[in-house]
Amino acid sequence: MRETLIVIGLFVFAVALRTARRGVMRKLGALMFLVASFFLGWFVTGNVWVAAGVASLWFFLPWIELLTRIRRMRLPLNNRLRHRKAPDPSFFPNAVEAASAMEEAGFEHVSDCGWEWAGMQQFFRLFWHPEERAVAAVCLCEQSDVAFAFISVTSHDRQGNMWRTTNFPFSPTLKCPPEVRWHHVPCERNCFHQILEDHRGYLERSKVTMDQLWMPDPEGLEDGIEKEMRQQVEHNLAAGIIRLTGDGHFEYSKRGLVFLWGQFVKDMVRLC
C-alpha cells in the first residue's frame, strides 16, 4: 500500500505542477511524470532497467499517431491558396489583437487566404511594411476541435535567404531548405510589437542590414507562400523525408516518420 500511495502521490503532484502558470513549474511537472513512471516500474519489478524503460515509454507515445494517422496521410503536391473570409474571432485566438497591433506598427493589410492540408484548415491574414521591408502574417490552424494561432515576420535578402521570426508553437514537420532561417520565440509571446522587435534583433545579430533586404511585392505574397511550400517539398523529396505517391500527392517515408518522431520528442521537451 505504501508503494501504491507513493506512485499515486507523485502522479497527483505532477498533475498539480502541470496546471501552474510558470513554464518552469510545468516542466517540473513533466519531469515528475517520468519519476512517477520510474517508481511504478521499480515497485512492480524491482529492476532499475525495467523501471527506466517504463519511464522512457512516454517518449515513444508519438509512434501511436505516427503508425496510424500520419502513415496513411496523403498531402497534395501542388497546393493552392484561395481567398477566404476571416473565421469567427472566437475560434481565432489573439487574431484581432495581432492584426490591430500590425496596423499600429504601420503594416498594411494585403489579403486573407487559406488552404487545406490533410484535414487541417490554415487561414492567413497577410500584411506588409515597405519601410521595414518585411511581411507579417497571423495564421490560424484548425483541425477538428483543436485550433491555435501564431504570428510570423518574414524578410528576404538579396542572396536569396529568407529570415523569419515566429511564435509557431511546434517544430517544423518538414525539413527547411538551407536558405530558410527560422528564429523561434516562445509561443507565449503573442504580442506583435515584441515579435517585431525580436525580428529586428535577429537580423541585427545575423548582420543583415536593411540595404540587403528585398522590397516585398504586396501583389505577390500569396504566390510567394505557394513557391516557398513547393521549394520545401522538393527539398524534402531530395532528402528522403517524403516520397511521391504517383497521384499528385506525397506521403512520409520511413525516414520521414523517424524525423517526425524526433520533432515530436523535441516538442515534448520544449513545450512541456
What pLDDT is attached to residue 31? 83
pLDDT at position 27 over 80: no
Name the least confident of 39-43, 48-52, 87-91, 155-159.
87-91
pLDDT level of residue 175 (50, 70, 90 thresholds): very high
Helix/strand/coil for 221: helix
Ranges of each domain in the chain: 2-60, 76-249
d(CA 15, CA 111): 43
Mean pLDDT, range 88-97, rounded to an integer: 71
Distance of CA 211 to the CA centre of its chain: 30
d(CA 165, CA 199): 5
What pLDDT is attached to residue 215? 94
pLDDT level of residue 93 (50, 70, 90 thresholds): low
Contact 253, 242 (CB under 8 A): yes
Q: In what helix (H) or strand (E) does residue 96 lie, and over which residues does it extend?
A: helix 95-104
- Give the HSE-up count for residue 107: Cα atoms under 13 Å, Cβ half-sphere: 28
Across the chain, mean pLDDT equals 88
Q: Which residues make beta-bridge pairs with 75?
A: 250
Q: In what helix (H) or strand (E) does residue 134 lie, and over which residues does it extend?
A: strand 134-143
β-strands 162-166, 180-184: how paired? parallel
Mean pLDDT, range 40-55, rounded to an integer: 87
What pLDDT is attached to residue 91? 66
Mean pLDDT, range 38-49, rounded to an integer: 87
User: pLDDT exceeding 90 applies to what percent of the chain?
Assistant: 47
What digits encode the pLDDT tens for the residues 179-235? 999 999 887 777 899 999 999 999 999 999 999 999 999 999 999 999 999 999 999
What pLDDT is attached to residue 152? 94
pLDDT at position 260 over 80: yes
pLDDT level of residue 2 (50, 70, 90 thresholds): confident
What digits encode the pLDDT tens for the residues 119-173? 788 899 999 999 999 999 998 888 766 778 899 999 999 999 999 999 998 888 9
Find all residues with CB under 8 Å of 207, minimum gap 6, and list them: none
What pLDDT is attached to residue 118? 73
> 145 vs 48, which has greater pLDDT?
48
